[in-house]
Amino acid sequence: MSVKLFLQAVFKFALGMAAVGLLMFLPVGSTADYPKGWLLMALLFIPMFSAGVIMMVKNPELLKKRLNSGEEQVEQRVVIKLSGLMFIVGFVSAGLSFRFELAVLPDWVSWVGAALFLTAYLIYGEVLRENTYLSRTVEVQEGQKVIDTGLYGVVRHPMYSATVLLFLSMPLVLGSAISFVVFLSYPFIIVKRIKNEEEVLEKGLEGYIEYKKRVRYRLIPFVW
């Protein structure tokens, strides 16, 4: 474990927590009055911290890849910008809808959303365990091989399946129908990322074309 990697991980974790907190709580006007916001913060950052510690100890190279956000693909930079805009609008609208009591969902929806969120995190963790080549950027790494077992035998992009469930459950935890509508844009954004990613993998990863023929579905079994 390098000191540089540790400091980079701590900095990005703290920056992410601060950004999400500001986006959610500033529109509300008071952190104490928004328990659903605190629920999402706990659901989001406690497992994230735990996963980061595990990777730091057991697989620092994977953690390094997950921290790298320097995207070279032009289309992927567009996807990142669209995703960032979605998060800003989604979190701010959730705070405003809570503050002004606009399209607020029942409390039980928040608990269902929390259960879905944790389920998605478990799927995400399993994907990280199965595929040590996972990077935040679209690229073919040296020595990379096609992973076709476990969840990768069901869909070609199980990590994105997990993130769709994660992100759609967030506004449910926050109890905001308006925010949920905003986050519904994410499946369309991720479709753009997947199409470009598969073009890169077909050109650079040996055996990927054959893998596509064996595993037909990209994101959701029997759907797409």
Domain map of the chain by residue range? Answer: 3-214
Instruction: Round to whole Å and give the CA distance between 50 and 120.
Output: 15
CA angle, 157 as apex, 84 and 216 as ends, to 5°?
Answer: 135
pLDDT of residue 39 exceeding 70: yes
pLDDT of residue 95 exceeding 60: yes
Give the mean pLDDT of 189-210.
88
Instruction: Round to whole Å and give the CA distance between 151 and 162.
Output: 11
Show the tokens assigned to 112. Answer: 């269902």
Phi, psi dihedrals of residue 163, rounded to the nearest 5° = -70, -35
pTM: 0.88
Cβ distance 189 to 83 under 8 Å?
yes
Instruction: Round to whole Å and give the CA distance between 114 and 40.
Output: 8
| Contact residues for 160 (Cβ-Cβ < 8 A; gap 6+) | 190, 193, 194, 219
- Of 66, 82, 91, 62, nearest to 13 by C-alpha is 66
Cβ distance 201 to 208 under 8 Å?
yes
What are the tens digits of pLDDT across the range 108-157? 999 999 999 999 999 988 988 888 776 655 566 666 788 888 999 999 99
Instruction: Round to whole Å and give the CA distance between 25 and 163.
Output: 23
CATH topology for 3-214 is Four Helix Bundle (Hemerythrin (Met), subunit A) (1.20.120)
What are the tens digits of pLDDT across the range 44-84? 999 888 887 887 878 787 777 667 665 666 677 888 899 99
